[in-house]
Amino acid sequence: MNYIFKTPRGIQVERHQRAIDFRQGIAFIIDELDHRRGMILSSGVEEPNRYTRWDIGFIDPPIEAVACDRRLRLEALNRRGQELLSILKTLVFSRGDSDLIEESPFHLLLEVKKGETGFAEEERSRQPTVFSPLRHIIEEFAGLEDRFLGFYGAFGYDLIFQFDPIEYHQDRSSKSKDLHLYLPDQIYVVDRRKEIAIQYDYLFSTDQITVKHEDRSPFRPLSRRLASGHSSSPQPLLSDFTDEEFAAVVEETRKYMLVGDIFEIVLHRKFSVDFGGSPSMLYRRLHELNPSPYEFVCQFGDEQLVGTSPEMFVRTERDRVESCPISGTVRRGANPMEDADKIKALYNSEKDEVELTMCTDVDRNDKSRICLPGTVRLLSRRLIERYAGLFHTVDHVEGKLREGLSGIDALLSHMWAVTLTGAPKRRAVQLIEKLEREARGWYGGAVGALLFNGDVNTGITIRTVHLEGKLAHYRVGATLVYDSKGQEEEAETRTKSTAFFNVLTQLGSLEMSVSAAKVGHPSMATSKQGAGLRIILIDYEDSFVHTLADYFRQTGAHVTTYRHTKALEDLIHLAPNLIVHSPGPGRPVDFSVPHAIRYFAGHHIPQFGICLGLQGTVEAFGGELSVFAEPRHGKAWQVWHSGSDMFDGVPSPCRVGAYHSLYAIREKLPGCLEVLAENEGGVVMAVRHRELPIKAVQFHPESILSMEGSVGHRIVTNVVSTLQKQVSKGSEMVNDHW
């Protein structure tokens, strides 16, 4: 299906489209971007009313736009671009707000004039900036019914100073760029929801000029050296701040907050490492580890941006403008139960709620500058979004643009996201310029598109690797309020860098991951502490016995489960190295647990009891039980322990799961039993016999409530490991050894 559109000045755009194989998609572009200019933009997540899964990509674009300060250079990159540049030239100077500095058949260099002072704040986004020539081009195509043709690229942090100038403190390189965009004339689009893929080709023409050349070969091809593979040896990670320095500057900001200069500020640090890999390699690993709504590769020739950003900057569609401020971060746990606790802690964190509240209030203010009165609305509050290694809380805000304003006005009015600057925004930006070690470059800006139909779609340039020569840079910030603590915020920068550290470690470019080690259970898949051991688990009609058996099997032991009705003599004949007494309902005497414990003790067989097993151990040697006023079912205890070998590597206190109504009366505990652990109320949580090889715990190691820090796994592993050592020695199992 073809489509033709003609602008008021007689510029004609003819669009041709054809279907391509959805199964193959446009993955080939990722590899081509190792040595050809272009971009790929992708959404790796589906979030109702916010994000859908799609891919957009192009290579060998005809036109490039690069800005530094108030100068904008438009350059033709191939023969088609040379003709297209002649068509666009008449548009960039149409309003008289730019001067021509330099011109050739292949480029235009222009400088945007400074605007008048004394304008109303509502008109700030209409003042001349390097966006003005781009705005003039886009406005010429008003009414275009096309969702993909436009400028694509990256917008640098320093663009904010054209919107609202401040005094510089950091040095800027003469080669620094504030904006780098492409105008492609062949665009590939994949809609993963509809499972379709389309190639769009655009032909520009006027009465005098037609972009008729089919040759898209670039005038200046890129070298293939970027696809050289990963580093030959791991490299150390460098940072512009030491941990102590970053923590100290966090504390310094609190002084400004104390006197009311700022309420909130986002400071960042930069990590760098030698990296000889390709952008495609890096992108695929980041995508695999950290699917995000704004994934991208920007191949600019002299540098590359590879990112998986979680945060929308500004998105406009016709007169609707929206954004999704993110603030509040917590590291993910080792499993879903720990994740649930992390989410609960994040959601209950007053500090994180305050941070997001400030961010959203400033974001609403940015919209109120350009939107119709009463149209700025909060759509969602403190949603939880999940990414590699961490959780975020997110708000969703929308508004309706005033008549005569466009997506570019929305982009300018929001510069830059309060989640990357602070509040009050202008004062925070001034302080950032003073306190940070160097200019931010691309960090904190945006990546995305200014479309010819007037729409804008951009994501914030965070979670982004900047490849420059043989170096990979990764910048990460922390949102600071008065309650912030230096060490905690420094640690947060590392938490947010998890995906970057992990990718570089996998690719062999980093000596070791410097992020905090993710806590998991102690390598159950590979640790074989129980290899060769025979364990019999007696089932006292419990609901969790097979989970418990699985925990023991993960140590490499051979585990067999029998109901409590199995004759004890038959179990002895199986020559077990360990008897495990399961939890169960009722009282121990209902299943003759005390009798079984005494019986196996008489045969010098080591035993380990859980819940009912502990209660049976207490009664077996003359102790007594009592009943809680309210049962403790499916709830957690905090447990303090004495540091015995059963609790080796287990923090004290630790969180464990409980399913019991009975408990051992401490005052009537037999003298032969030693208390190894107790809960917050002093209730006995673990014991061992002083002379016999018997241990027991009152809680459930196999419960999901015992997953935090892999407490349950560690206890089971410790029991088996200690047993294995003694079996290997052939020594008799007594208290000193077990």
- pLDDT tens figures, 575-608: 999 999 999 888 999 999 999 999 999 999 999 9
Range with the poorest average pLDDT among 9-13, 516-520, 602-606? 516-520
Q: Residue 625: inside a domain, yes or no?
A: yes
d(Cα 97, Cα 27) in Å, to the nearest integer? 41
Residue-level pLDDT at 695: 98
* 499 and 637 co-located in one domain: no
Chain centre distance of CA 144: 37
* 222 and 351 co-located in one domain: yes
* 678 and 582 co-located in one domain: yes
d(Cα 567, Cα 546) in Å, to the nearest integer? 20
By the 8 A CB rule, do 363 and 422 touch?
no
Cα Rg of the chain (Å, integer): 33
d(Cα 522, Cα 427) in Å, to the nearest integer? 48
Residue-level pLDDT at 738: 62
Q: Which of 268, 414, 473, 700 is catalytic?
A: 700
Could you say which of 506, 521, 544 is where a domain stops?
506
Q: Please count the structural domains in the chain.
A: 2
* 500 and 603 co-located in one domain: no
User: Which is it for strands 534-539 and 578-581: parallel, antiparallel or unpaired?
Assistant: parallel
By the 8 A CB rule, do 638 and 655 touch?
yes
For 104, the enclosing helix (H) or strand (E) is: strand 98-104
Sheet holding 578-581, edge to edge: 558-563, 534-539, 578-581, 607-610, 694-697, 684-689, 673-679, 625-641, 654-664
pLDDT classification of 233: cutoffs 50, 70, 90: low
Q: Helical H runs in 14-64?
A: 27-32
- Which single residue is written with the structure tokens 């900001």? 253
Residue-level pLDDT at 398: 93
Query: What are the tens digits of pLDDT across the range 470-492?
Result: 889 999 998 888 888 888 888 88
Q: Helical H runs in 436-509?
A: 486-496, 498-506
- 446 is written with which tokens? 């945006």
Residue-level pLDDT at 510: 54
Looking at per-residue pLDDT, the higher value among 663 and 479 belongs to 663
By the 8 A CB rule, do 322 and 75 touch?
no
- 276 is written with which tokens? 């000889």
Looking at per-residue pLDDT, the higher value among 227 and 292 belongs to 292
* 421 and 384 co-located in one domain: yes
Query: What are the tens digits of pLDDT across the range 543-580?
Result: 778 878 888 988 999 999 899 989 999 999 999 999 99
* 436 and 572 co-located in one domain: no
Strands (E) located in 300-338: 304-309, 312-317, 320-323, 326-331
Query: What are the tens digits of pLDDT across the range 393-417?
Result: 999 999 999 999 999 999 999 998 8
Residue-level pLDDT at 527: 47
pLDDT classification of 736: cutoffs 50, 70, 90: very low
Nearest by Cα to 565 from 547, 539, 587? 539
Q: Using the predicted structure, report yes or no on whether residue 96 has a pLDDT greater than 80.
A: yes
Q: Helical H runs in 606-668?
A: 612-620
Q: Residue 350: inside a domain, yes or no?
A: yes
Cis bond before residue 293 (omega within 30° of 0)? no
Q: Residue 514: inside a domain, yes or no?
A: no
Residue-level pLDDT at 521: 35
Could you say which of 465, 487, 506 is where a domain stops?
506
Q: Residue 353: inside a domain, yes or no?
A: yes
Chain centre distance of CA 360: 20
Residue-level pLDDT at 196: 92
SS3 assignment for 673-711: EEEEEEECCCCEEEEEECCCCEEEECCECCCHHHCHHHH
In this prediction, residues 92-100 reach a mean pLDDT of 88
CATH number of the domain within which 596 lies: 3.40.50.880
d(Cα 449, Cα 43) in Å, to the nearest integer? 14
Range with the poorest average pLDDT among 56-65, 308-317, 355-364, 425-434? 355-364
Range with the poorest average pLDDT among 22-36, 204-218, 609-623? 204-218
* 560 and 416 co-located in one domain: no
Residues in the chain: 738
Residues near 320 by beta carbon (within 8 Å), at least 6 away in sequence: 398, 399, 400, 401
Q: Using the predicted structure, report yes or no on whether residue 104 has a pLDDT greater than 60.
A: yes
d(Cα 160, Cα 480) in Å, to the nearest integer? 21
Amino acid at 505: T
For residue 126, the tally of other CB atoms under 10 A from its CB is 18
HSE of 444, CA atoms in CB hemisphere, 13 A: 30
The CA–CA distances, whole Å, from 279 to 4, 65, 155, 198 equal: 36, 22, 19, 24
Residue-level pLDDT at 86: 92
Could you say which of 470, 490, 506 is where a domain stops?
506
Q: Residue 737: inside a domain, yes or no?
A: no
pLDDT classification of 48: cutoffs 50, 70, 90: low
Domain residues for the domain of 709 are 534-729
Query: What are the tens digits of pLDDT across the range 188-212?
Result: 999 888 889 999 999 999 988 887 7
- Quick check: is 353 catalytic? no
Chain centre distance of CA 709: 21
Q: Residue 434: inside a domain, yes or no?
A: yes
Nearest by Cα to 655 from 694, 699, 688? 699
Strands (E) located in 214-319: 238-239, 264-274, 294-299, 304-309, 312-317
Query: What are the tens digits of pLDDT across the range 66-82?
Result: 999 999 999 999 999 99
* 305 and 361 co-located in one domain: yes
* 569 and 711 co-located in one domain: yes
CATH number of the domain within which 34 lies: 3.60.120.10
In this prediction, residues 80-95 reach a mean pLDDT of 90
Residue-level pLDDT at 230: 46
- Which single residue is written with the structure tokens 């202008």? 426
Residue-level pLDDT at 51: 73
Q: Name the CA dihedral angle for 609, 613, 617, 619, rounded to a multiple of 10 degrees.
A: 170
Q: Name the CA dihedral angle for 56, 62, 68, 70, rounded to a multiple of 10 degrees.
A: -110
Q: Name the CA dihedral angle for 515, 354, 460, 504, rounded to a multiple of 10 degrees.
A: 0
In this prediction, residues 502-516 reach a mean pLDDT of 56
Query: What are the tens digits of pLDDT across the range 262-294?
Result: 878 999 999 988 888 899 999 998 888 878 889
Query: What are the tens digits of pLDDT across the range 313-327?
Result: 999 999 999 998 888
For residue 118, count CB atoms less than 10 angstroms from its CB and return exposed for 0-12, middle for 13-18, buried for 19 or more.
exposed
* 562 and 482 co-located in one domain: no
Q: Using the predicted structure, report yes or no on whether residue 501 has a pLDDT greater than 80.
A: no
In this prediction, residues 441-452 reach a mean pLDDT of 96
Q: Which of 611, 619, 678, 708 is catalytic?
A: 611
Looking at per-residue pLDDT, the higher value among 234 and 539 belongs to 539
Q: Residue 233: inside a domain, yes or no?
A: yes
pLDDT classification of 729: cutoffs 50, 70, 90: confident
With residues binned 3-state (H G I as helix, E B as strand, rest as coil), the percentages for the chain, rounded to 5, are 30, 35, 40
Quick one: DSSP state of residue 157? G
Q: Residue 206: inside a domain, yes or no?
A: yes
| Residues linked to residue 153 through DSSP beta bridges, in sequence order | 181, 448
Q: What are phi and psi of 466, to 5 degrees?
A: -105, 110
Residue-level pLDDT at 480: 87
Q: String of b and e for 615-629 (b: at least 16 CB within 10 Å)?
A: bbbbbbbebebeeee
* 620 and 487 co-located in one domain: no
Nearest by Cα to 218 from 81, 86, 107, 77? 77
- 155 is written with which tokens? 């917008």
- Quick check: is 700 catalytic? yes
Residue-level pLDDT at 524: 37
- Quick check: is 702 catalytic? yes
d(Cα 422, Cα 437) in Å, to the nearest integer? 17
For 341, the enclosing helix (H) or strand (E) is: helix 336-348
* 324 and 200 co-located in one domain: yes
d(Cα 555, Cα 553) in Å, to the nearest integer? 5
pLDDT classification of 234: cutoffs 50, 70, 90: low
Q: Using the predicted structure, report yes or no on whether residue 102 has a pLDDT greater than 90.
A: yes
Nearest by Cα to 283 from 493, 477, 500? 500
Cis bond before residue 218 (omega within 30° of 0)? no
Residue-level pLDDT at 642: 92
Q: What are phi and psi of 132, to 5 degrees?
A: -60, -50
Q: Which of 32, 322, 385, 702 is catalytic?
A: 702
Average predicted confidence (pLDDT) for the chain: 88
Residues near 377 by beta carbon (within 8 Å), at least 6 away in sequence: 397, 398, 399
pLDDT classification of 110: cutoffs 50, 70, 90: very high
